[in-house]
Structure 1
Amino acid sequence: MKLVMKFGGTSVGNASRFAEVARIIRNFHDDGHQIVAVVSAMAGVTDLLLSMAKKAINDEEYVLRSLSLLKDKHIKACDVIANPKLRKEIKRYVNDLIAQLKVFLKGIAIIGEVTPRMKDYVLSFGERLSAKILWAKLIDLGIKSKYFTGWEAGIVTDDEFGSAKPLMDLTEERVKERLNPLLRKGVIPVVTGYIASTINGYITTLGRGGSDYTASILGAALEVDEIWIWTDVDGIMTADPKIVSNSKTIPILSYDEAAEIAYFGAKVLQPYMLKPAKDKKIPIRVKNTFNPKNSGSLIADVERMRKKGVVKAVCINNNVSILTVRDLDPRSFKKVLKLMEKLAEGSVESILVSQSFPEGSFSLIVPKTKIKRISEYIREIGDIKTEWENDVSLIAVVGAGMKGTPGVAAKVFQSVAERGINIRVIVQGPSELNISFVVKQKDGIEAVRAIHERFNLGETDGQN
């Protein structure tokens, strides 16, 4: 098979993990598979780089300390390389790249600002370091391999720095031209995840979870047989195993089900990464680098799976707040429309919870991380009466089989009511793949457990 394999930050978290990833790639390569490896930054590195970019202007001590940590982390990872000459070469590469970053951060301090383009340049260093180390380890094992940044592999994006989108026609043309000849020769391209560039050569990032997006883009361009997302869990689960002890891996689910589960809180995938693969009907498999023999979860074009299990998963998101706008009248509606425009312009995702025309009010669910920005918008507009409710959890019950199946909502709400949990609001939305609602945060975990139990999601056959 022709495969794209993406390895996340925990999968390459230290020297021993790099060694394990290299062994996984070698084993599948030895079995005759053509493989493109996509690599995330080492765990914690992207957040560290982001902090450095933000503090470069006024905290030189923090930046110098962070640069030292960054260098030490990657130099230690280089010890996975047995060949002394190659190990020395890669350590020199790490030192050179850290030196480049140091110079750039000094430039930020002198200029006194960090533009989105500058931030993307800083963030690119994580994947450029980790992918080079994995490439070196494959060479160390005697495997033919070639290192690529995302743009060298052919990914071209628009100039929305921080959340760039691929120009797929041009990207497909370039990726096929650059990677297919290598695959036919048995060479493994190792490609940086998360980063690409504009047509003018400016480095861009693909948004949080962008390495998954890179894998999907490359998989679609190369029309591979499958895309494998290697992470630190056994696949997409029926619920968060940290709160439901008998949660199970979902063996197979549709693209739309996976997107809903990702949107409502599962951290395994980002919803937007599914589109390139879905457009080409390329299956995506989520696997565990710590348990590579487990088959994981398969995401595919599977209408037939509607009949097997009405509900697939229960998700919880505690990182949300409810914003209620009250006492609306015809004059204030214009200001509310202005607020909605600002939310859209600022890429602040929101979900309509409820609206009451007699009371002149409506409510939105928004990310807690955006409260400060939204409050600034409200102050700028002025004369809008608002209330915040922060101690809430958003619960989502997901499954394609719910469409057209009577009684599912009643079963969901009854299971929650039997535990003495009050539903704060029911979320309104166009999707027929989920039933979602809000409860007090203290009741969130118990609500998930109640629904998981009622629909028998802990049973191995997945029937409910």
Structure 2
Amino acid sequence: MLVMKFGGSSVADRTQLEKVFEIVKGLVDKKPVVISSAHKGMTDKLISAAKSAVKGDFSMPDVIDYQSEISASLGCPPDLLSNLFTEISDLLRGISLVKELSPRSLDYIASFGERMAVRSIADFFTRKGLKCQAFDVWDLGFITDSKFGDARPLPGFEKQVQKAFQEKVPADVIPIVTGFIGQNENGEITTVGRNGSDLTATLLGSALGAEEVEIWTDTDGVMSADPSVVPDAKNIPSMTFDEAAELAYFGSRVLHPSTLEPAMNAEIPVRVLNTNHPSHPGTVIGRQSMDGLNRVTSIAYKEGQTVFTLTTTRMLRRAGFLAQVFEVLGRYAVVVDMISTSEISVSFTTQSREALEKALPELKQYGECDMEHGKTMLVVVGNKLAKRRGQGSEILGALAQAGARVEMISFGMGSINFSMVVDDSAVDKAVPVLHKELFS
């Protein structure tokens, strides 16, 4: 069995879906399970409609017209999605009346993108000769907790998924399944987080014991840098789970940060492929890199960081001081990305600016506090990076050449990432020079 996830750009319109059809058709013998995102831009339109409705600005939403145009271009029956269109209108009307948009309602409205897409795609593919059936993922055993916006399947969901697939998916049918969404035990719709269809794919792949999970997107696999910043970025043929997880967390635009854990635990390889260039082998991610070399894999960056520094002589030789500081951060849900300490100071980066500002009065009890905004965490990721002699000097030398000022560094023992903090404005200059130094 093969699990294939197609992102929003891959299912954007009929032109793209013709490509997807040919890809799936060519792998019928692998018994594919297709996970689909919403059509490109649809989730944003749905959320925008909900935010307008909560302000009392409700009319028949543009999302219905947008979806109707796509479905009509696919030749779908006009009434295929009529029930969902009515449900969308009723929900938005209700939001406009109560003028409240709760996390639960936000997940509910966001779910329609995938639900409409799979029904249109399954109908289109079936008429073109591939017998397909649309499924909402919760009908296949994907029942989650109630953490709206960031839900996860309940423990033991794997057996429920296996049972549901055996009972509900005919042997001669290709299931087209909703990504991104789920349902809790009360029947309330949840989502696993934006861009979470990747996670749906690896969770189902793990539950079903798939031979591989394929993530189909619009790039030739994982690249050595962001192609929008480095036009000559190179494809990475293979990489480890650890490297890919680092890149996903630190800003890689290809994978969702939580995607890899289920596949890693089940030791199922994940392959990233290009819908527009299906003959390209893409990038395979597994327990070990295929080349096994100690080399730099990629450059990633995470913009919009706040750097917080706490300075005090009370830290000096005092056991438990940092534990007290981080207890405050934990209570205010401040997520720390990168940290550096000295005898009398601790600095860290976070994107949780609002939460940090709420924690600031308590943090000031421990010492002098300083915050700087508009920073980027720039990260070089590589297998056994610390074992390469002179690697640090190459990285810092490249940034000096680019005129970027490095304000903070983190490089742990045996680390696979070399992290630095620079100004947001330095990214466009620093990344191309760094890429040239490390990959040319």
How does the TM-score come out when normalised to structure 1? 0.86
Q: 1:428 to 1:250 in 2, by over 3 A?
A: closer
Whichever residue aligns with residue 211 of structure 1, its letter is S
1:94 is matched with which residue?
81
Q: d(CA) in 1 for partners of 2:426 and 2:432? A: 10
Q: 1:429 to 1:201 in 2, by over 3 A?
A: farther
Counting matched residue pairs gives 435
Where structure 1 has 5 or more consecutive residues not aligned to the other structure, the ranges are 459-464
Q: Counterparts of 1:185-204 in structure 2 under 5 Å?
A: 185-204=171-190
Q: d(CA) in 1 for partners of 2:328 and 2:112? A: 36
Whichever residue aligns with residue 111 of structure 2, its letter is S
Secondary structure in structure 1 of the residue aligned to 2:247: helix
Alignment partner of 1:49 out of 26, 46, 50: 46
Matched, 1:28 2:27: yes
1:287 is matched with which residue?
273
Matched, 1:340 2:325: no
2:110 is matched with which residue?
123
Whichever residue aligns with residue 207 of structure 1, its letter is G
Judge conservation of contact 1:56–1:108 (CA < 8 Å) in 2: yes
Q: d(CA) in 1 for partners of 2:188 and 2:119? A: 20
2:383 is matched with which residue?
400
Alignment partner of 1:434 out of 417, 430, 433: 417
Q: 1:379 to 1:124 in 2, by over 3 A?
A: farther
Q: Counterparts of 1:256-275 in structure 2 under 5 Å?
A: 256-275=242-261
1:72 is matched with which residue?
65
1:324 is matched with which residue?
309
Q: 1:71 to 1:263 in 2, by over 3 A?
A: same
Judge conservation of contact 2:56–2:97 (CA < 8 Å) in 1: no
Q: d(CA) in 2 for partners of 1:377 and 1:107? A: 36
Matched, 1:374 2:356: yes
CA distances 1:271-320 after superposition (whole Å, capped 9, x unpaired) = 2111111111111111111111111111112156432x510111122232
1:462 is matched with which residue?
none
1:413 is matched with which residue?
396
Secondary structure in structure 1 of the residue aligned to 2:33: strand
Alignment partner of 2:55 out of 44, 54, 58: 58
Secondary structure in structure 2 of the residue aligned to 1:306: coil
Judge conservation of contact 2:329–2:356 (CA < 8 Å) in 1: no
Q: Counterparts of 1:153-192 in structure 2 under 5 Å?
A: 153-169=140-156, 171-180=157-166, 185-192=171-178
Q: d(CA) in 2 for partners of 1:79 and 1:449? A: 44
Where structure 2 has 5 or more consecutive residues not aligned to the other structure, the ranges are 316-320
Q: 1:454 to 1:337 in 2, by over 3 A?
A: closer
Q: 1:433 to 1:337 in 2, by over 3 A?
A: closer
CA distances 1:231-266 after superposition (whole Å, capped 9, x unpaired) = 111110001112222211101111111001111111
1:363 is matched with which residue?
347
Q: d(CA) in 1 for partners of 2:363 and 2:88? A: 40
2:6 is matched with which residue?
7
2:206 is matched with which residue?
220
Segments ≥4 residues shifted beyond 6 Å: 181-184, 332-335, 380-384
Q: 1:441 to 1:312 in 2, by over 3 A?
A: same
Name which of structure 1's ranges 38-47 and 182-191 shifts more when overlaid on structure 2: 182-191
Judge conservation of contact 1:19–1:80 (CA < 8 Å) in 2: no
TM-superposed CA distance for 1:437, in Å, is: 0.3
Secondary structure in structure 1 of the residue aligned to 2:129: coil
Secondary structure in structure 2 of the residue aligned to 1:98: helix
Judge conservation of contact 2:107–2:149 (CA < 8 Å) in 1: yes
CA distances 1:328-354 after superposition (whole Å, capped 9, x unpaired) = 858x9898445402343xxx4322432
Q: 1:232 to 1:443 in 2, by over 3 A?
A: same
Judge conservation of contact 1:338–1:381 (CA < 8 Å) in 2: no
CA distances 1:372-430 after superposition (whole Å, capped 9, x unpaired) = 34324436887685433223221111011314333222222223223443211113557
Q: 1:325 to 1:50 in 2, by over 3 A?
A: farther
2:16 is matched with which residue?
17
Work out the percentage of aligned pairs sharing the same amino acid: 32
1:351 is matched with which residue?
337
CA distances 1:121-166 after superposition (whole Å, capped 9, x unpaired) = 1111111011111111111112211211110121121121110112
Judge conservation of contact 1:6–1:39 (CA < 8 Å) in 2: yes
